Amino acid sequence: MSGCEGSVEQVKVAIVGAGPAGVGAAVRLTKLGIGPVVVIEREAQVGGIPAKYAGDDVPTYVMWTQGRIIPGYRYAEKLRRELEQANAALHLESTVIGLDSAANILTVGSPGRGKWQIRADAILLACGARESSRAERGWVYGHRPAGVYFTSNILDLARSLKRMPADAAVIGSEVMSYATAAKMAAAGAKRIVMADNAVRPRSFLPKRLFFYRWARPAWANQSHYASIRGKRAVEQVELPAGRTVSAKEVAITGQLTPNSELVMEAGLAVNTLSRAVGDVKDYRIGESGVFVAGNILGLTCSGQWAYFTGRWAAGQVAKYLRAL
C-alpha cells in the first residue's frame, strides 16, 4: 500500500467499468441487498461506448427485451438512470492502475484525488474490449497519417465536427463496421468503401440490410491487404489488383480484443494470443475473488447482452459472498 494517498476504501464489491456490463452488475447486486458497491469508470460519464453517440444518431442498440432498436445516447441515458437509482457509489474519471488478486485490492488514480486503494470482498471487471490495431490484424499496412481512427474516435469526431469528408473507407465488415459506416454517412460521408480480408462481409445479411438505410458501402472483395497512403493526412487506400480508392477518413473497426491488462498484471490466466481471460467458470477467474462480465470475456456482444452478462455475473458474485 506504500505510495498511495489517503486511507483504503473498504467495500463489499468493486466493479471496474460503468458500461452496460458494469451497470448491469451494479443494479443486480444492489437489488440483492449486497453493499456497499462501488463502480469505477475512467471516462467522465456512465454508459461506455453508447455514451459517445450524439443525440441525433443512427439507432444501433437492440433492446431485445422490448423488440426495438434505439440510438446509443438513449441507451446510455437508460444506463445512467438505472445506476443513479441503485445504491452504488460511483467514481468517474478514475482509472484502475493495479489489481492485487490475492488481497482483492485495486489501486486507483484520478486527477482530483490522486492515487488511492479500494479493498473489496469481490471484484468484478467489466472493462470491455478494444478494436484490434493495424499491426494486430496483420494485413493493413502503409503510412500513419492523420485521419485514421477507431470507431470510438469516429464517434467523438462526428459529435464534435458534425460533418465528415465525402470520401471514406472502413476496415472490417462486422456489424459494428456497418454501424460505423452508417454513422459516417449520417455525418456527411457520401462514398464509403469497405475492405476486409474475407470472401464476403462478416456481418449477417439481415443486420447489413438494416444499416443500408443510411449507408451501403462498396464492398472490396477479399482484400488480403490494404495500404493506407498519405503524408500528413490520409489520401487514399490501395487494395489488391491495383485498385486505389480515395479516402479522407479511414475507420478501423471490429475484431475486438479484450481489455485484459489488469488480469494479466495480477498474474491470472490470460491467453497471450487472443488476450481472452482464461480459467473462467461461472464468470469467476479460477479460485480468486475476481469476476468478469461483458466483452472482456472475449465475446462480441451488443450492449444489452453485455448488460445481461453483468447481471448473470452479479448472481455468481452473490453466491461467492454468501459462501465466505
pLDDT, tens only, 131-162: 999 999 999 999 999 999 999 888 887 777 66
Query: Residue 68: its pLDDT value, please?
Result: 82
Question: What pLDDT score was predicted for residue 154?
Answer: 84
If you average pLDDT over residues 197-206, what whole number do you get? Answer: 92
Q: What is the model's pLDDT at position 278? A: 92
For residue range 224-251, list pLDDT tens digits in order. Answer: 899 999 999 999 999 998 899 999 999 9
- Which amino acid would we find at residue 297? L
pLDDT number for residue 180 = 93
Topology match between the domains 9-130+256-322 and 133-252: yes
Average pLDDT score over residue span 307-322: 98
CA 257 – CA 89 distance, rounded (Å)? 29
Is residue 72 over pLDDT 70? yes
pLDDT at 56: 65
Residue range 253-276: mean pLDDT, rounded:
93
91-135 tens-digit pLDDT: 999 999 999 999 999 999 999 899 999 999 999 999 999 999 999
Q: What is the mean pLDDT of residues 267-276?
A: 91
Pairing of strands 226-229, 236-238: antiparallel
User: What DSSP assignment string belongs to 175-212?
Assistant: HHHHHHHHHHHHTT--EEEEE-SSSS-SS-HHHHHHHT
The answer to whether the bond into 36 is cis (omega within 30° of 0) is yes
2, pLDDT greater than 50: no
**Is pLDDT above 60 for 3?**
no
All three cell numbers of 127, joined, read 472493462
Rounded to two decimals, what is the model's pTM? 0.91
Domain boundaries, the chain: 9-130+256-322, 133-252
Amino acid present at 218:
A
59-63, 164-168, 204-208, 252-256: which range is least confident on average? Answer: 59-63
Kindly tell me the burial class for residue 143, based on how many C-beta atoms sit within 10 Å of its own C-beta (0-12, 13-18, 19 or more): middle
- Per-residue b or e along 170-202, where b marks 16 or more CB atoms closer than 10 Å to that residue's CB: bbbbbbbbbbbbbbbbbbebebbbbbbbeeebe
| Mean pLDDT of the region 279-293 | 97
Residue with cell 467522465: 44
Check if the beta carbon of residue 169 is closer than 8 Å to that of residue 193. yes
pLDDT at 260: 96
Query: Can you give the pLDDT at residue 161?
Result: 65
- Give pLDDT, residue 5: 52
Q: Is the pLDDT of residue 253 over 90?
A: yes
Please give the CATH number for the structural domain made up of 9-130+256-322.
3.50.50.60
Pick the CATH number of 133-252 from 3.50.50.60, 3.30.9.10, 1.10.287.1770, 3.30.1180.20: 3.50.50.60
Coil vs helix vs strand at 281:
strand
C-alpha cell at 189: 460521408
Q: What is the average per-residue pLDDT within 163-176?
A: 93
Q: What percent of the chain has pLDDT over 90?
A: 76
Residue 257's Cβ-count burial label (10 Å; 0-12, 13-18, 19+) is middle
Torsion of CA 27, 207, 137, 269, to 10 degrees: 30
